[in-house]
Amino acid sequence: MRRIDVISDVICPWCWIGRAHMERALEELAAEGLRFSVRWRPFQLNPDMPAAGVERTAYRVAKFGSLERSRELDAGVAEAGRAAGLEFRFERMLRTPNTLAAHRVIRMAGAADDARPGLQDAVAAALFRGYFHDGADLGVASVLDALAADAGLAGAGAMLAGDAHRSEVEAEAAAAREGGISGVPSFLMDRHLLFSGAMPAARMAQAFREADAILAARAPA
């Protein structure tokens, strides 16, 4: 079974939309007998974000120049989200967090994925929904612990009290930037970069289908 790696950040709205499109793409491919495993990889859109995060409105105004422009962009994302079957509730989002802790939780789930296939994807989905729909502050350990537990991963809060997975996440996120990744979500198959962006499910399925065929043709006889 080939693996699809998704490089993403949990505060990237297009990553949540991209996951929804990928889910539909993989369902289409599964009906054809093509099955893939999925692994979530870390990227920080704001690697220099304070550990406690910042107030979202102030952050968005500083980034986009005005509250009006920020709301225009949010409206466009919300429309794209509805088309993907997702509901963005930006009015509930009060803070923009540092996402290092969230990525550590996702990596923790990945370490358990072999024994419980799909756990990491379930945890990633829970964090996306927690942030974009429920307004959860993903910089708070107790919030991450509760979201992860609801998705089937116990012990995230205790893990975050130490340094587990910190250096690995930091190194992997840095390697992605050094390797030329500047936009997320980015999708790789067997470590080959396929595309970046939340393309529609049908196009995504075709990209995965073609990549699988190319990799199969390159395999030793």
Q: Give me the number of domains the chain comprises.
A: 1
Question: What is the extent of the structural domain holding 32?
Answer: 2-218
Q: What is the pLDDT of residue 81?
A: 98
pLDDT digits (tens, 9 = 90+) for 49-81: 999 999 999 999 999 999 999 999 999 999 999
Percentage of residues in the chain with pLDDT exceeding 70? 100
- Cα 90 from Cα 132, distance rounded (Å): 7
- For residues 50 and 61, give the distance between their C-alpha atoms in angstroms, rounded to a whole number: 17
Under the banding of pLDDT at 50, 70 and 90, the label for residue 27 is: very high
- Enumerate residues 6+ apart whose C-beta is below 8 A from 9: 15, 42, 43, 44, 45, 99, 103, 184
| Residue 174: CATH number of its domain | 3.40.30.10
Residue-wise pLDDT tens digits, 88-141? 999 999 999 999 999 999 999 999 987 789 999 999 999 999 999 999 999 999
**Average pLDDT over every residue of 147-163:** 98
Task: Using only the alpha carbons of the chain, give its radius of gyration.
Answer: 17
* Three-state secondary-structure class, residue 36: strand
Asked whether the predicted pLDDT for residue 221 surpasses 80, the reply is no
Q: Which two tokens stand for residue 171?
A: 């190194």
Specify which residues 196 forms β-bridges with: 186
155 has pLDDT over 80 = yes
Tally of CB atoms within 10 A around 188? 19
